[in-house]
Amino acid sequence: MKGIRKRLLAVLFAFCMVLPLFAACGKETGEYDESGNVRLDIANLYLNDLGDAYTGYVEDKFSVRISPKVYSWADWDSQVTSAVNGDNIPDVFHWNLESMVYPTLERWAKGGSLRAIPDDMSAYPNIKKVLDSATAIDKMKVDGKLYCIPLMYDINKPEMGYSSFTYVYRKDWAKALAEKNPSEYGDLYKEDDVYTFSEFERLLAAFDKEDMAGSNKTIPLADVEWAFPSVINYFKDAPHAYVLNEQTGKFEWNYTTANFTQGLEKAKSFVEKGYYWADSYAANEGDAMNKYKSGVVGCYFDNFTLTNYSELRKSFSSSNPSVDLDEGTALMRLKRDDGKFVYEEANNWWSATLFSADISDVQMNKYFEIMDWLLSEEGTMFATYGFEGTDYTVKEDGSIELHWSKTADGEYANKLIGAKYLRYSICLNQDITSNDPLIDDGTKAAHAAWIADIEKQIEDNQVKLLPLYSDMNWLSLPNKNANANLVNLASDAIIKYVFGDGGWSEFNESNRSKYEAVVNEINTALGL
Amino acid sequence: MKKLVCVFLAVLTAAMLFGCSAKTEEGTVRFEQVVNENVQGLGVEWDAYEHPDVITDEKWERATAYMDKLSPAYIRCVINLDWVVTNWNKGASEDVSDDTWEYNWEQSSIRNMFKILDHCQKSGIRVGLGVWRPVDGWDMQDSSDVRFAKIMADIAEELIVSRGYSCIFGLFLTNEPNYLPGNDFQKWSTGVKNTAAELAARGLSDKVSIIGPDATSYSAAITWCEDTVKNVKEHIGNYSIHMYVSDYSVDSGRFAEDIRDVVNTIEKEDKDFDKKGLIIWESGLLDGKDPEWDTNVLIDTFGFGVRMADYTMQAIMGGASGVSFWEFDDAMHFLENGQMKQYGMFSSLGTAAQQELRPWFQSSYLLTRLFAPQSKVYGCSLNSEKDTTLRALASVSSDGKTGGYCVVNRGYEEAEETFYLPQKVQGEKLYVYIFGEKDMKLGADGFIVPNYELDGSLNGTLTLKIPAGSAVFVTNTKY
């Protein structure tokens, strides 16, 4: 393989030595290394310790040398922003694009920091498929040009239109309560995991009263840090700052509506009753999940992609070996009091890959070639399992026989397939996680059953989808742009309020002029 | 001829008992091709412990006993600068040259470093001493800062001159500079020049040199070594890279080619390369790595040891002069959450099972003995065949007194090959060690012992059965 690679490189190198005589060879400096490979700087959240054989194979296959840069979750946005402001942008980079930050994308594009994607992507059919099926794709364009590729959750399932948020809970605790005191708790054990909000509240009270973790360590309820306080979801009508009033037909400030206020007061009461984890106020990223893993939390809210769910189960199992794993990490199906399950409507992508204005034609096309291959059937198999014949074989019946190393316990050991992390640059790999050998069948089955239930609930019109309001959220308007941080300020104020440290009405009053200006602007722009 | 017959008969006898048999010369694997004449031996990472206070005297004695047994030619010992540099005072002017600081040689991890240095000085183990980063939490962000060079030279002077640690032969100026945030080759190489000048000013240039670039991954190894050899080779006493590789790289034999690429990159620009050498100062495997816990879940398996043996052999085939295993003791390093990392040959802390020697200590011990400094290493036809599950190298000391060979079989089937080493080696006894899950034999002291002994010489033919998933060592001295 390597001999062929060197010959190809020699030819490519010789070609590039001649090319500048006839035409500009793209970016003036640094486009090729001394061996004639195309240099490519890629920065994203997911790149791992590249240098593995799988990244090496991709590099050889495409005559490219990839310099990875890994963003950290904690300061991802500031790393990207400072790179753009400092004109020090990697060739390809990853940014938390969402509707609220569209004005920034617009400013960067118009300011000449970004390079647009070619209008015709037919040479890269797998990428084209992503672009053709990504929701809100037209809304992220600037002056008719697309400057990013959204990272789709599952390229084979573009119709997915909801976020996978819910609670995992200690079904084993619920069962123990029901067995201990059938008259009081008998109805709190649910074989099908379906709870009304009232039952949910009683369950939290029971976990607390009976101190299910023992030694007064029980935490009935905890949320992933960014979602606190999640219980409001089961009352409010829109996910963020603005909600469409069905009666007036106009947008209004969501945070002062009756339903939101009811949810907020419920959250506050859960804090006061001691249901919510007291340290939620100052928790760091991952703290709440770690509490659940340790076995002291009754219900825990998060975005349960298969990967997240698997991670939680593995750690929980390790810390709580005597607990039945399916019962210790059951996925709750929780209804609002109006009888509807509730989920947030969502795009079929999250975040996006962007390109420096300085990226050359050669580099950009090379990136597209690599990603198009990684999305192909061959590339997908490679990113999932590794080298055919070495890491896996396909049996006559089409099933996969894996040859990965196993630990002393007989489990497959982690395998760092860098190609998988490169693939994250263009999609979120949910199409391949269901085949991930490191996720056990029990986890896959439990998660698949829950997803199937959600889709059935949606089909049966049993779901309240908190609307995405794409038409409104992607608007770029002066007041809306200037006050984009209101939603963050509101989140901080909510946390303070539910912990008794700040006035909620004071917050709303002090920001009234701002949100009213935004709301008026939105309604005018939309002709409402 | 008489001797050959003797060996033949001895092996035939042993074969009946142990599965060895003699073969005719036809089909014999001959160790004829010299693949490396610049071996500096093998080493291991033995860093100053982050929490030395929990390493009791008993644990320390056990760790040093393991180190004695492993008997590496060298160790890499890395410290945090903020353990030793203290009382930093900003000077009156903006010029950082006016800044002052002091050294605290009593800090607990630094005292632990002294214990490591004491042990190495006494045992004749050479030490590459390094710092992880410039200075945490201060305004010194990279090694180009003139203060960094002064600090490095001050430390070298204190340790080598004032305290007499002649075991220290090289300095690492930051770990993995290609991954250090905000760093680049320009900054790192400025640090090299500055530090070299400071060492020269103190008359230390002939006592200690700079080891570098210490970059990690194949691509970075090529580019950083290329830049290093073109720009600062006169200051480099030993070339350093880190290589954590996929099983696939080892299994396919590609790893030897990758190392050859790095060696070629240096060799063509530095005529003193043979003298300086290239050591893979951090060596390990990616498969099995749990990035969250910085742990390798395969570390307890025999497969890890067999593959690391193959890794080591390929590094030497590729022209590296040494390999330093990552790492000696789990208990040296912890994550921020207090979790101990697990990449070592044992753990001084942790559960009782974790405190036991892991299998790969035993294979590393045999490798360290086999590829001793100044050995001449011979390859064979097995290494160029398409079936990459078998690999074999022979090693002979410069005086011809000791030698042996190692055969790795990563396949699923037992293999049988007949070996012959033409290079004259003394000795009339052969010791056969089998490192494999079913076959490894341990002595009462917990260290690997020969599975059997044979009368005969390495210069006779010997037919070996190499069990699947094992490494077999044949030596003329008992390790």
Q: Per-residue pLDDT tens for A58-87?
A: 999 999 998 888 888 878 999 999 999 999
Span of A500-504, B273-277, B462-466 with lowest mean pLDDT: A500-504
> From the list B254, B291, B300, which residue is nearest A408 (CB)?
B300
The CA distance from A96 to the nearest CA of chain B, in Å, is 22
Residue B297 and residue A387: Cβ atoms within 8 Å?
Answer: no
pLDDT band at residue B13 using 50, 70 and 90 as cut-offs:
very low
Lowest mean pLDDT among A32-46, A78-92, B206-220: A32-46
From A382's Cα to the closest Cα of chain B, the distance in A is 13
Chain B closest CA to A51's CA: distance in Å? 5
Kindly report the nearest CA distance between residue A527 and chain B, in angstroms: 50
The boundaries of every CATH 3.40.190.10 domain in chain A are 2-155+352-385, 165-344+467-473
Residue B151 distance to chain A (closest CA, Å): 30
What is the model's pLDDT at position B54? 93
Per-residue pLDDT, averaged over B369-393, amounts to 92
Percent of chain B scored above 70 by pLDDT? 94
Task: Give me the helices (H) in A273-376, please.
Answer: 287-294, 306-319, 325-328, 361-375
A291-306 pLDDT, tens digit each: 999 999 999 999 999 9
Is the pLDDT confidence value at B300 over 50?
Answer: yes
Tokens (6 digits) for B438: 């079913």
Average pLDDT value for residue range B26-34: 91
The mean per-residue pLDDT over the stretch B69-77 comes to: 98
User: Residue type for A286, please?
Assistant: G
pLDDT of B14 above 50: no
Domains and CATH numbers, chain B: 2-30+380-475 (2.60.40.1180), 43-370 (3.20.20.80)
pLDDT in tens, B94-128: 888 888 999 999 999 999 999 999 999 999 999 99
Pick from A15-29, A493-507, A510-524, B417-431: least confident: A15-29
CB atoms B248 and A386 under 8 Å: yes
Residues of A in contact with B297 (CB under 8 A): 407, 411, 413-414
**Count of other CB atoms within 10 angstroms of residue B288:** 26
Mean pLDDT over all residues of chain A?
91
| DSSP helix/strand/coil, A36 | coil
pLDDT at residue number B135:
76
Residue A25 has pLDDT above 60, yes or no: no
User: Cβ–Cβ of A56/B218 closer than 8 Å?
Assistant: yes
Q: Name the least confident of A38-47, A223-232, B63-72.
A: A38-47
**How far is residue B396's CA from residue B157's CA, in Å, rounded to a whole number?**
37
CATH level 2 (architecture), domain A2-155+352-385: 3-Layer(aba) Sandwich (3.40)
DSSP A413: P
A56, A65, A407: residue with CB nearest B297: A407
- Tell me what percent of the residues of chain A surpass a pLDDT of 90: 83
Q: Does B261 touch chain A (CB under 8 A)?
A: no
Residue A4's pLDDT is 37
Q: What is the SS3 assignment for chain B?
A: CHHHHHHHHHHHHHHHHHCCCCCCCCCCEECCEEEECCCCCCEEECCCCCCHHHCCHHHHHHHHHHHHHHCCCEEEEEECHHHHEEEEECCCCCCHHHCEEEECCCCHHHHHHHHHHHHHHHHCCEEEEEECCCCCCCCCCCCCCHHHHHHHHHHHHHHHHHCCCCCEEEEEECCCCCCCCCCCHHHHHHHHHHHHHHHHHCCCCCCCEEEEEEEECHHHHHHHHHHHHHHCHHHEEEEEEEEEECHHHHHCCHHHHHHHHHHHHHHCCCCCHHHHCEEEEEEEECCCEECCCCEECCCCCHHHHHHHHHHHHHHHHCCCCEEEECCCEHHHCECCCCCECECCCECCCCCHHHHCCCHHHHHHHHHHHHCCCCCEEEECHHHHCCCCCEEEEEEECCCCCCEEEEEEECCCCCEEEEEECCCCCCCCEEEEEEECCCCCCECCCCCECCCEEEECCCCCCEEEEECCCEEEEEECCCC
| A1, A51, A391 ranked by CB distance to B218: nearest | A51
* CA quadruple B283, B287, B291, B295: dihedral, nearest 10: -60
Q: ω into residue B327 within 30 of 0, thus cis?
A: yes
- B169 pLDDT more than 80: yes
Q: How confident is the model at residue B142 (pLDDT cuts 50, 70, 90)?
A: confident
pLDDT value of position B267: 97
Closest residue by Cα to residue A417 from A407, A432, A395: A432
Chain A residues bordering chain B (beta-carbon distance below 8 Å): 1-2, 33-34, 48-54, 56, 59, 65-67, 386-387, 390-391, 404-408, 411, 413-416
Sequence-distant (6+) residues with CB within 8 A of B337 are: none
In this predicted model, what pLDDT tens digit does every residue of A443-480 receive, in sequence order? 999 999 999 999 999 999 999 999 999 999 999 999 99
Cβ <8 Å between A59 and B219: yes
Higher pLDDT, B5 or B221: B221
| Interface contact flag, B301 A49, Cβ < 8 Å | no
The pLDDT value recorded for residue A49 is 60
The residue of chain B nearest to residue A391, with distances taken between CA atoms, is B248
Higher-scoring residue by pLDDT: A389, B12: A389
Better-predicted residue by pLDDT, B83 or A75: B83
Is B294 touching A (CB cutoff 8 A)?
A: no
Best of A4, A38, A52 to mutate (most B CBs within 10 Å, chain B):
A52
CATH code that applies to domain A165-344+467-473: 3.40.190.10
3-state secondary structure of A253: strand
In this prediction, residue A97 carries a pLDDT of 96
Pick from A50, A408, A415: which is nearest to B217 by CB? A50
**What does each C-alpha distance from B126 to A324, A387, B168, B205, B281 come to in angstroms?**
53, 40, 6, 17, 13
Q: Please identify which residue in the block is written with the tokens 């990552």.
A: B326
Q: Is the pLDDT of residue B411 over 60?
A: yes
- Which chain B residue has its CA at the smallest distance from A49's CA? B217
Contact status of B223 with chain A (Cβ, < 8 Å): yes
Helix (H) or strand (E) holding A38: strand A38-44
pLDDT-derived band of residue B3, with 50, 70 and 90 as boundaries?
A: very low
